[in-house]
Homo-oligomer: A and B are copies of this chain.
Amino acid sequence: MKLTLTQILDFPKRYRANLINSLSGVKTPVLVGTKNQANATNLSIFNSLLHIGAHPPLLGILCRPNNTPRHTLNNILETGHYTLNFIPQNLIERAHQTSAKYPASISEFEACHIEPLWTDFNAPYVKESPIRIGMEFKEQLDIKINGTLLIIGEIKEVYIEDSKIDEEGNALMTAHDISSIVGLNAYHVAKRLYKLSYAEPDEKLIKTE
């Protein structure tokens, strides 16, 4: 069937949100860990991780200014640092619960029974997470058309088991038992099919396990 923009705008709000979110495909949710200057912590699930560049190593997340993650955004701008924590399968339900609208005075680490991990980094990690990334805020882009913000940070450190990076540098998103998501609430796991070689005109691709 064909859906037109008019039909999409006429759908009930939640139905439309599910449809448009799911049309961005499979994503990997991360828990974003922050603290404010008074050391009060916040933890929030984001489904909008975006690769911005490898040199310098940059990742982006999308923030909705009028929504719960505002606490996260405020903390990032206040301290300049945040953590990205991938979600193993046995953490999915508690990670999803961080999307509830808790008041700023409540830490999702406590409310959702997720143990923080403190290091010398200026933001809390999630102890159970198999891949943890320490980020430094670099750039904020204001998206005019709907008031959302793209927050770009530089990777300062990565915690990952060495056996979980393949010989070409790829982090193994399945071996880590990392969860994926479609839309706002449909959790998935990814299974690796194969790798393809770098594409060149008129050269046959090589397929490897």
**Which A residues have a C-beta under 8 Å from some C-beta of B?**
1-5, 8-9, 11, 13-28, 30, 47-59, 62, 86, 89, 92-93, 96-102, 106, 111, 131, 133, 138-139, 141, 143-146, 148, 150, 152, 154-162, 165, 168-174, 178-180, 182-183, 185-201, 203, 205, 207
Contact = CB atoms under 8 A, between A and B. Distances in A.
Contacts of A191: 188-191
A48 B9 CA distance: 25
Contacts of A53: 20, 145-146, 148
Given A22-B173, A170-B19, A190 B192 contact: no
- Kindly report how many copies of this chain are found in the complex they form together: 2
Nearest to A200: B100
A23 B155 contact: yes
A45 to B, nearest CB: 9
A179 B195 CA distance: 12
A28 B183 CA distance: 12
A169 B19 contact: yes
